[in-house]
Amino acid sequence: MPLIDRRLLTNFDWTLLGLTLVIAALGVVNIVSATASYNVPGTAYYLKQFYWILTGLFLVLALSSVDYHLLDDLAIWVYGVVVFLLLVVLVAGKTSMGATRWLHLGFFSIQPSEPMKIVIIIIFARLFSRYPANSTLTIKGMAVPLLIVGLPALLIMKQPDLGTAILVLLIAGSMMLAVGVNPSALMAGVVAAVPVIYVGWSFYLREYQKNRILDFLNPERSRLGSGYHIIQSKIAVGSGGFFGKGYLKGTQTQLRFLPEQHTDFAFSVFSEEWGFLGCFVVLALYLSLVLWGLHIATRCNDRFGSLLAVGVTAMLFWHIVINIGMVIGLFPVVGVPLPFFSYGGTAMVTSMMGVALLLNISMRRFMFSKN
């Protein structure tokens, strides 16, 4: 099989890559401002972010050249390995700040919960592509997928990493919705969720996680805990007004009232300095990206590819909605980065891998319809 087919180049999805790069570029510009008040020796954050984007681009090109159907074969193996790693993390992982997320493998460390987001997409795509095309998921039919997603989700929650666990569940849920869920099964799911949430709240959630949720419901509860983050972020966003305070002129940002302002709260920096106008543009870009992802899924003639594209799009979508929702006080504070916008290598690599998958599916859309 040739690595590069000419058809692949002619079908290359410039729209997707363009949207991604525009957002990533805005992200770098925003990180310059977010970190302007920092006094950190060494390479500046925005430069590092730029390097991560370059790394991501390289990944995109490398991964696009490999046919995604390879993943169909590897799905079970990959899933098994990552679930195994999650178990190892719980037993032998490195604990930092009360959570055990990292696994040290000699030269480098990995955080197996992060690839789990992609892995769940692959395994679900494989699973659902083998289901009859026009059937919906029944209660019985949901048992297997729920087990598949439930195991890693529980392990991740146990670390504890509530944000990632929720994302994995949301990605899985979105894919099931895309496939179609039998109304009675949907009802059953909702009913089942109640005891699950209760048990989760009582036995799985750590005190700080409960606090975060309670703080979100009532920010005044702890003006200095996570409630403080919500309040300061809302002040930053709201005080931006229609036109914003101007680039590098956000007082909340430059005077360091914002928490995590180059990572999870990067969007509040942007909102403060660019106002509603800027936010509208960025949200429009993100919406275009998500809709384009769904468009890729729709026009793909291959069910596995379609489901893969839906999963990746769901991953991006939920990151965007949860992060922005958190910044503007609609969701509790959970550590979910904004794709391509928040500073951070891991997030950038994961998001870029997602884009690589989408590009891969998009450029191979005609390859199988002719068979």
Partner 1 sequence: MSRQRFVKESARLEKNLLSLSLGVTALFFILIMRLWYLQIIKAEDYQNLSENNRLRLVPVAAPRGTILDRNGKLMIWNRPSFSVVLFKQDVKDKDLLLGQLIRYLELDREELYEKWSKSRGRAKYYPITIDSGITQDQLEFLEENRLNLPGVDIQMKPVREYADNGTAVHLAGYIGEISEQDLAKEEFSRYNSGDYVGKNGLERVWEKELHGVDGGRLMEVDARGRVLRTVTETVPTIGNSLMLTLDRTIQEQAEQALGSRAGGAVALDVRTGEVLAFASSPLFDPALFAGRIPKKVWDGYLEDVRHPLINKVLTGQYPPGSTFKIITALAGLEEGLIDEHSTVSCNGSYTLGNRTFHCWQRHGHGQVNLKLALKQSCDVYFYNLADRLGVDRIAAYARKYGLGAPTGIALEHEKPGLIPSTAWKEKKYKQKWARGETISVGIGQGYVLATPLQLASMMASVANGGTVYRPYVVKKVVDQEGKVLREFKPEILGNAGVSRRSLELVKSGLQAVVNEPGGTGAAARLAEVMVGGKTGTSQVVKLRTGKGNPYQFRDHALFVAFAPVDKPEIAVAVVVEHGEHGGSAAAPVARAMLRAYFEGKGAIKKPVARQGRYSSNRGRDAVTEDTGDATGD
Q: Which residues bind partner 1 (CB under 8 A)?
A: 37, 67, 69, 72-73, 129, 133-134, 136, 174, 177-180, 224, 232, 234-242, 251-252, 255-257, 271, 275-276, 279-280, 283, 286-287, 290-291, 294, 297-298, 300-304, 306-307, 310, 317, 321, 324-325, 328-330, 368, 371
Quote the least distance from Cβ 316 to partner 1, whole Å.
Answer: 10
Quote the least distance from Cβ 179 to partner 1, whole Å.
Answer: 7
Helix (H) or strand (E) holding 99: strand 99-105
The residue (of 54 and 70) whose beta carbon lies closer to partner 1 is 70
Q: In Å, what is the CA distance from 130 to each residue of 61, 133, 303? A: 29, 8, 9
The residue (of 156 and 338) whose beta carbon lies closer to partner 1 is 338
Distance CA(38)–CA(353), nearest Å, equals: 30
- The token pair that represents 71 in the structure block: 């993943």
- The token pair that represents 355 in the structure block: 């884009």
Quote the least distance from Cβ 246 to partner 1, whole Å.
Answer: 14
Task: Name which of 128, 114, 112 is nearest 172 in CA terms.
Answer: 128
Exposure class string for 140-149: b at 16+ Cβ within 10 A, else e: ebbeebbebb
The residue (of 46 and 317) whose beta carbon lies closer to partner 1 is 317
Quote the least distance from Cβ 133 to partner 1, whole Å.
Answer: 4
The residue (of 210 and 256) whose beta carbon lies closer to partner 1 is 256
Q: Could you tell me if 352 and 59 are in contact, meaning their C-beta atoms sit under 8 angstroms apart?
A: yes
Distance CA(300)–CA(354), nearest Å, equals: 16
Quote the least distance from Cβ 145 to partner 1, whole Å.
Answer: 16
The residue (of 199 and 284) whose beta carbon lies closer to partner 1 is 284
Quote the least distance from Cβ 30 to partner 1, whole Å.
Answer: 16
The residue (of 52 and 124) whose beta carbon lies closer to partner 1 is 124
User: What are the DSSP calls for 120-184, one per residue?
Assistant: HHHHHHHHHHTS-TT--B-HHHHHHHHHHHHHHHHHHHHTT-HHHHHHHHHHHHHHHHHH-B-HH
